[in-house]
Structure 1
Amino acid sequence: MPHPVPYAVTYAVVPYAPGAGPSAWPEGLRRIARPEVLERWGAVDRTPHAPRLLAVPGDGGWAAAALVTARPGTAYAKIVDAVGDVPAAARAVVAYAEEQGLVQVVWEGWTVSGEDAAAAGFAPLRPPLPGGTDEPVGPRTGYVRWTAGEGVAEPAYYRQSTHFSCGAVTALLAQVRAGVVRPEALGREAELTLWRDATNFPACEPVGLGVAVRRRWPSSSVEVFLDTEEPVLLDHLDGDEREWRAVLQRASRAEADRLGVPVHGRRLSLAELREAVEAPGRCRHVLLLVSLATMQGFDVPHWVLCHGAVPGAVVVEDPWFNTAAGETWVDAHLLPVADASLDAMSLFGGEVRVRGAVLIDGA
């Protein structure tokens, strides 16, 4: 049923059938959307992100529509494109986001102009830093509108160039935001050099990552939180493959003690995490180890950078996104993750779930 919304716009949520082809799309959509836009919409399987159409009715058909998606477990909605009466489509999406309790709407800049985005209350996002691969990152522009709170200061975005260097990239992004590293210095060489110093082959475990950060930037205050003394991220290994990595983790703990890096044998609470990134006058960041099971559908450990908070959500930078599901850098940048979701996804391991975090204070 159509929903009355605060902007004198009525809209309907229409199921989107990916892969069905243009002939299966509603006639109202085909009348207002250019063929190349519909072709791009159907070029990937967006099913993991619950794609839906928000349609604004007009005289004898649709006046406007927007394709909207979002990662599961998050607190945002993404406009892939708005067609027809673009301002009306944008108003409908913002109203929908507010009704759903979402804190943010982002807009991929495939077809929208900066002027139209600004008129709808959206601010331009900083373009991503050049990455270390030739894989496209999506549109050159993107836009954001916060629906809860005042938003957070925007850091630079950089996409990791390998499947295993997320820990190094989040540390580098934290130091770029703190002014310790120049943005132009962030590239594949910097990424892989720090990864080589931090890796447990191929993953970066919390203590090793914290030690690598302290060695690289001795003036930065670093603390590690890990509520186990056992080796971590080794559940998929056994025998000698597990043991030699465990030796390296014990060596990292010894190095942390030598360098004066505190390793707290307890879980960093969500309240403590929020307090850290919200501290006024401080430039504090939390590198947090999460499982991608909720957001991407596979239980793989992954580092994200927590750098701000808004009511009900922590704002992170995710250095990886899934192009096969239609994601672009706009999904992974300034990403608000609902508190309860982040609390759940930041537990990893086997039968005993633990949390790993590295707190960097750049103040």
Structure 2
Amino acid sequence: EASEKTGAGHGRVYMRLEVRKDNAVAIKLYQNMGYRPFGEYKDYYEDHTDALRLQKRILYPGTLTRLLPIPYYPQQTDYTCGPAALIMAMSSLSQERESGMMEELRIWREATTIYMMSGHGGCSPVGLALAALQRGFQAGVWLSTRDTPFVDSVRDVKKKQVIELVHQDYLRQLAQHDVPINYRAITQDDLEQVLEQGHIPLVLISTYRFDYKKEPHWVVVSGMDEHFIYIHDPWIYASDHRFALDNQYLPIKRSSFDRMSQFGQMRLRTAIVISPGAAAESTT
């Protein structure tokens, strides 16, 4: 317990340890303390016995941390992090909002970039803002560049053209709603102000810190304090043995968050801020 307190005091989110796989007593003790297995080391000890790797989350928000009451919703596919994040934001602002895989896929169809890296396309920040507007919410968009987001994630010329066409169409639709785009990176001061107003930011990050893959990923900023930015991460990393509880109010050091919240060769920084509109307020 002393080691856990020390680790948490230094901003460590997880405590990890190894134990012999044949030491059932020790394994049970650690599991009773909240540790869960997440891997193993082969031939770890001098007698060639394998080691079981265990981990426990030790850092949680403090009592003085400002947190928004955001219900957790996990994404159901590997390409719908944006819709899942938007569902969490809308559900927090309007308790009677529909959630579930069908709504998740509807939003993806409305906001997709068509192509992105490999496989299915992810979601455009402008497309997600439009999806929120269509559901009666207000949405603000921050983009650090006027270039087309994610166009540098594909090499094929035709795919680049499709991404650019889709982006221009989203921009035309957003202009019809008289929603201006803030062509600058959203700052941590901006995020603090947004949270104080009760609005909910969705921020694009790179997944490198979690899985070393450098993929674009939408998360919900659910709180802040002096040292950390807390997020709701819609993707449950099975390889890391994380559960839904681990993905709520997940603390990220402020200095680390700045490095995480940029993507691609153009170092894209983008965010969407969701707030209640007249239609959404009427259902709360």
* Smaller-chain TM-score bracket: 0.7 to 0.9
Distance 1:296 1:15, change over 3 A: closer
Correspondent of 1:260 among 174, 178, 183: 178
Matched, 1:316 2:234: no
Separation in 2, partners of 1:253, 1:358: 14
Separation in 1, partners of 2:191, 2:40: 32
TM-score normalised over the length of structure 2: 0.77
**Cα distance, 1:157 vs structure 2:** 0.9
Matched, 1:206 2:125: yes
Q: Which residue pairs with 1:229 in the alignment?
A: 146
Any conservation in 1 of the 2:65–2:223 contact (CA below 8 Å)? no
Q: Which residue pairs with 2:104 in the alignment?
A: 191
Letter in 1 for 2:25: R
Distance 1:289 1:252, change over 3 A: same
Pairs aligned (count):
248
Letter in 1 for 2:96: R
TM alignment of 1:39-50, pairs within 5 A: 41-42=36-37, 44-45=38-39
Matched, 1:297 2:212: yes
TM-score normalised over the length of structure 1: 0.62
Distance 1:199 1:35, change over 3 A: same
Q: Which of structures 1 and 2 has the bigger CA Rg?
A: 1
Give structure 1 regions of 4+ aligned residues with deviation exceeding 4 angstroms.
2-6, 35-38
**Cα distance, 1:147 vs structure 2:** 3.6
RMSD: 3.0
**Cα distance, 1:292 vs structure 2:** 0.6
**Cα distance, 1:311 vs structure 2:** 2.3
Separation in 2, partners of 1:236, 1:163: 17
Separation in 1, partners of 2:253, 2:178: 34
Question: What secondary structure sits across from 1:182 in the alignment?
Answer: coil
Correspondent of 1:325 among 236, 240, 250: 240
Any conservation in 1 of the 2:132–2:138 contact (CA below 8 Å)? no
TM alignment of 1:78-93, pairs within 5 A: 78=57
Any conservation in 2 of the 1:148–1:310 contact (CA below 8 Å)? no
Letter in 1 for 2:17: Y
Identical aligned residues as a percent: 23
Question: What secondary structure sits across from 1:169 in the alignment?
Answer: helix
Q: Which residue pairs with 1:31 in the alignment?
A: 25
TM alignment of 1:82-231, pairs within 5 A: 104-105=59-60, 146-147=61-62, 149-150=64-65, 152-179=67-94, 181-182=95-96, 185-201=98-114, 202-217=121-136, 220-231=137-148
**Cα distance, 1:234 vs structure 2:** 2.7
- Using CA pairs under 8 Å that are at least 6 residues apart, name the structure with larger relative contact order, 1 or 2: 2
**Cα distance, 1:35 vs structure 2:** 9.2
Any conservation in 1 of the 2:204–2:217 contact (CA below 8 Å)? yes
Q: Which residue pairs with 2:274 in the alignment?
A: 360
Distance 1:22 1:362, change over 3 A: same
Any conservation in 1 of the 2:36–2:55 contact (CA below 8 Å)? no
Superposed CA offset, 1:145-169 (max 9, x none): x446245243211110011111111
Letter in 2 for 1:214: L
Distance 1:240 1:5, change over 3 A: closer
Unpaired runs of at least 5, structure 1:
7-13, 48-66, 70-77, 80-103, 106-145
